[in-house]
């Protein structure tokens, strides 16, 4: 009796040591796997923005707000957090929810307006974004869409939160890939616990198998984690034959790395990343193409190329072709008046005129004489501007006079006037803006148009 009692005590001590050892191992693994919050948050932000791509695409190219797509943001944030080995605690659902809502706000209120501005061929700046929001219809629409998107994000976040809580409860979240040595230890544990079941049923060959229902019943009765069975399956120690299972003893000592299961979530994440890259490229190319796209204009006398982002309009006081474009701003709804007697000219679009005329060659037989006349004329104006001048050749080989006038009086104005001489005919390109931030843009425009001008006929019909 005493010997039996001693054996029982030894057995209990061994079991206690084994449990404590396992507990310590688990704790150690948790310390290693739960790196920190920072890396996880970085991953969540990246993943969340990737998850926002389908929503952005629908808004930009489909011209519709499919708010339900915002659900992918929470999913992207969660998987980004896991991939970057973020610390997994009960705080994780709150972190994912907050990051998702912030991403929705940034995407809806900033990123989408920026992409809209870019695809319209306009310069993206604080000013253009500000003017866009001064349109009350746009502002109301984007705020409404943001609120709806936040609601769907919260719904998506709720689903993810439930999943996180379940995984935390089951202890299935593990952000650390096992080393081969650690895997071998777990494999040995699985063999020790599961092999006796197959031996009991003599299921040790293809011809002798065990039913799935019997195997699961044995695992449940002995309290063995089914994940241990999955490990033996991954290294082909436990094999499947016609829906039943058997134990392949020859593979016990075989050096086989565990087979990685195809993770559907990872496949979805990879797919979304690919879509995000394609979409980003498409947005950039589309915006750049529209920004650089030109059309040829001609009346049979001259021809020139102009960027399609400029809008033509009829001006009864100016001959030739007239265009306008909002470069550093957007039109303000209702009025441009700051107060009753003060007009904010900076909200006006840039203006462009292309025209031509004949000159008397006895008086103006060179580009220098045209320069002298124009400089004298400009200097005679009451609001005398600062003038810069240059004489050169266009890409077509014509003499060109380039004048830049800067008006520092109220309202401020920048103007470029190019005069292209061809025998007795002069083509003019006049571009101006009251918004001084437009300077670089309008200079490029006047240069491109001047270089594209070409005479189709050498004289004007009377």
Residue 216 has pLDDT above 60, yes or no: yes
Tell me if residue 322 falls in helix, strand or coil: strand
Top-confidence range, 12-21, 68-77, 258-267, 437-446:
437-446
Per-residue model confidence (pLDDT) at position 458: 62
Q: What's the CA gap between 139 and 292, in Å, rounded?
A: 29
Angle separating helix axes 264-292 and 112-119, nearest 10 degrees: 40
Residue 19 is predicted with a pLDDT of 42
Q: Is the pLDDT of residue 20 over 50?
A: no
Predicted confidence (pLDDT) at residue 14 exceeds the cutoff of 50: no
For residue 408, count CB atoms less than 10 angstroms from its CB and return exposed for 0-12, middle for 13-18, buried for 19 or more: exposed
The pLDDT of residue 323 is 94
Between 93 and 64, the higher pLDDT residue: 93
Query: Is residue 111 domain-resident?
Result: yes
Has residue 337 been placed in a domain?
Answer: yes
Residue 269 lies in a domain: no
* Out of 150-159, 308-317, 415-424, least confident range: 150-159
185 in the same domain as 144: no
Considering 193, 219, 251, which residue would you say is the last residue of a domain? 251
68 pLDDT above the threshold of 80: no
- In a shared domain, residues 71 and 156: yes
Provide the number of structural domains found in the chain.
3
- Provide the 10 A C-beta neighbour count for residue 445: 23
- Reply yes or no on whether the pLDDT at 199 is more than 70: yes
Q: Tell me: the pLDDT tens digits for 270-305?
A: 665 566 566 556 655 555 555 568 899 999 999 999
State the DSSP code for 207: T
Are 41 and 71 found together in one domain? yes
The model carries a pTM of: 0.51
Of the pLDDT bands very low, low, confident and very high (cuts 50, 70, 90), residue 62 is low
Is residue 367 in some structural domain? Answer: yes
Decide if 388 is inside a domain: yes
User: Would you place residue 431 in the very low, low, confident or very high pLDDT band (cuts 50, 70, 90)?
Assistant: very high
Lowest mean pLDDT among 46-50, 127-131, 323-327, 411-415: 127-131
Average pLDDT over residues 79-90: 80
Q: What pLDDT does residue 32 have? A: 42
Q: What tens digit of pLDDT does each residue of 236-265 get?
A: 889 888 889 999 888 887 765 555 555 555
Query: In what side-by-side order are the strands of the sheet with 425-433?
Result: 311-313, 321-325, 350-358, 425-433, 413-422, 399-407, 386-393
339 and 422 in one domain? Answer: yes
Question: Mean pLDDT of all residues in the chain?
Answer: 77
Query: Are 447 and 305 members of one domain?
Result: yes
Residues 35 and 126 in one domain: yes
Pick from 52-56, 107-111, 367-371: least confident? 52-56
Mean pLDDT of 154-171: 69
| 47 vs 287, higher pLDDT | 47
CATH of the domain at 302: 3.40.1000.10
Give the model's confidence band at 70: pLDDT under 50 very low, under 70 low, under 90 confident, else very high: low
φ/ψ of residue 339, rounded to 5? -145, -170
Q: CA-CA distance, 180 to 256, in Å (whole number)?
A: 10
Q: Which of 200, 226, 251 is the last residue of a domain?
A: 251
User: Is 406 found in the same domain as 348?
Assistant: yes
Short-list 80, 83, 89, 90, CA closest to 34: 89
Cα–Cα distance, 164 to 162 (Å, whole number): 5
Q: Is the pLDDT of residue 156 over 60?
A: yes
- Asked if residue 306 belongs to a domain, the reply is yes
The domain boundary residue, chosen from 170, 195, 230: 170
How far, in Å, CA of 448 to CA of 400, rounded? 13
- Determine the length of the chain: 462
Residue 316 has pLDDT above 80, yes or no: no
Tell me which range, 101-110, 221-230, 343-352, 388-397, is most confidently predicted by mean pLDDT.
Answer: 388-397
Question: Which residue has 């990246």 as its token pair?
Answer: 46
Angle, CA 91 vertex, CA 269 and CA 95 arms, to 5°: 50
Percentage of the chain lying above the pLDDT 90 cut: 20
Quick check: helix, strand or coil at residue 245? strand
Do 234 and 383 sit in the same domain of this protein? no
Residue 10 lies inside a defined structural domain of this protein: no
Per-residue pLDDT band for 94 (boundaries 50, 70, 90) equals: confident
Q: What burial class does residue 224 get, using C-beta atoms within 10 Å of its C-beta: 0-12 exposed, 13-18 middle, 19+ buried?
A: middle
Domain co-membership, 342 together with 195: no
- Mean of the pLDDT values across residues 42-55? 84
Answer yes or no: do 165 and 186 share one domain: no
The pLDDT of residue 85: 77
Q: Please report how the helices 37-51 and 53-60 are oriented relative to each other, as an axis angle in degrees rounded to 10.
A: 30
Which residues constitute the domain of residue 107? 23-170
| Angstrom distance (rounded) from CA 372 to CA 362 | 15
Q: State the average pLDDT over residues 174-197.
A: 74
Same domain, 232 and 100: no
Predicted pLDDT at 449: 96
pLDDT of the residue at 52: 82
Distance CA 331, CA 340 (A): 19
Measured distance CA(40)–CA(98) in Å, rounded: 13
**Scanning the structure block, which residue is given the tokens 């396992």?**
22
Q: Which two tokens stand for residue 376?
A: 């004298």
The answer on 353 and 204 residing in a single domain is no
The answer to whether residue 462 is domain-embedded is no
- d(CA 304, CA 321) in angstroms, rounded, equals 11
> What whole-number percentage of the chain has pLDDT above 70?
72
pLDDT tens per residue, range 326-373: 887 766 554 444 444 567 787 788 999 999 999 888 888 899 999 999
């Amino acid at each position: 009796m005493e010997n039996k009692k001693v054996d029982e005590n030894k057995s209990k001590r061994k079991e206690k040591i084994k449990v404590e050892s396992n507990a310590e191992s688990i704790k150690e693994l948790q310390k290693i796997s739960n790196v920190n919050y920072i890396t996880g948050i970085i991953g969540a932000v990246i993943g969340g923005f990737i998850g926002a791509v389908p929503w952005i695409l629908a808004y930009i190219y489909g011209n519709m707000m499919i708010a339900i797509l915002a659900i992918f943001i929470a999913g992207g944030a969660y998987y980004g957090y896991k991939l970057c080995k973020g610390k997994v605690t009960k705080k994780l659902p709150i972190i994912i929810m907050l990051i998702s809502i912030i991403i929705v706000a940034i995407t809806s209120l900033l990123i989408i307006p920026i992409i809209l501005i870019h695809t319209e061929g306009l310069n993206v700046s604080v000013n253009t974004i500000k003017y866009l929001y001064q349109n009350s219809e746009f502002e109301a629409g984007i705020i409404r869409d943001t609120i709806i998107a936040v609601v769907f994000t919260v719904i998506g976040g709720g689903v993810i939160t439930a999943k996180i809580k379940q995984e935390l409860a089951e202890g299935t979240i593990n952000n650390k890939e096992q080393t081969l040595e650690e895997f071998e230890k777990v494999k040995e544990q699985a063999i020790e616990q599961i092999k006796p079941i197959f031996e009991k049923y003599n299921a040790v060959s293809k011809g002798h198998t065990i039913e799935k229902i019997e195997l699961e019943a044995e695992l449940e009765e002995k309290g063995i984690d089914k994940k241990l069975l999955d490990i033996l399956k991954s290294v082909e120690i436990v094999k499947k034959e016609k829906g039943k299972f058997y134990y392949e003893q020859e593979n016990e000592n075989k050096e086989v790395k565990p087979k990685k299961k195809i993770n559907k979530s990872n496949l979805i994440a990879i797919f979304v990343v690919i879509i995000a890259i394609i979409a980003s490229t498409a947005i950039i190319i589309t915006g750049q193409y529209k920004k650089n796209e030109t059309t040829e204009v001609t009346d049979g006398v001259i021809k020139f190329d102009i960027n399609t982002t400029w809008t033509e309009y009829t001006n009864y006081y100016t001959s030739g072709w007239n265009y306008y474009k909002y470069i550093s701003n957007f039109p303000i709804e209702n009025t441009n008046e700051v107060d009753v007697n003060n007009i904010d000219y900076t909200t006006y679009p840039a203006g462009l005129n292309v025209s031509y005329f004949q000159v008397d060659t006895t008086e103006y037989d060179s580009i220098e004489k045209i320069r002298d006349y124009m400089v004298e004329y400009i200097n005679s104006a009451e609001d005398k501007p600062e003038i810069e001048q240059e004489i050169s050749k266009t890409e077509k080989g014509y003499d060109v006079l380039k004048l830049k006038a800067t008006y520092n009086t109220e309202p401020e104005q920048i103007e470029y006037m190019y005069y292209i001489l061809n025998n007795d005919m002069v083509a003019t390109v006049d571009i101006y803006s009251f918004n001084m931030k437009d300077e670089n843009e309008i200079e490029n425009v006047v240069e491109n148009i001047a270089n594209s001008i070409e005479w189709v006929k050498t004289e004007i019909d009377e």
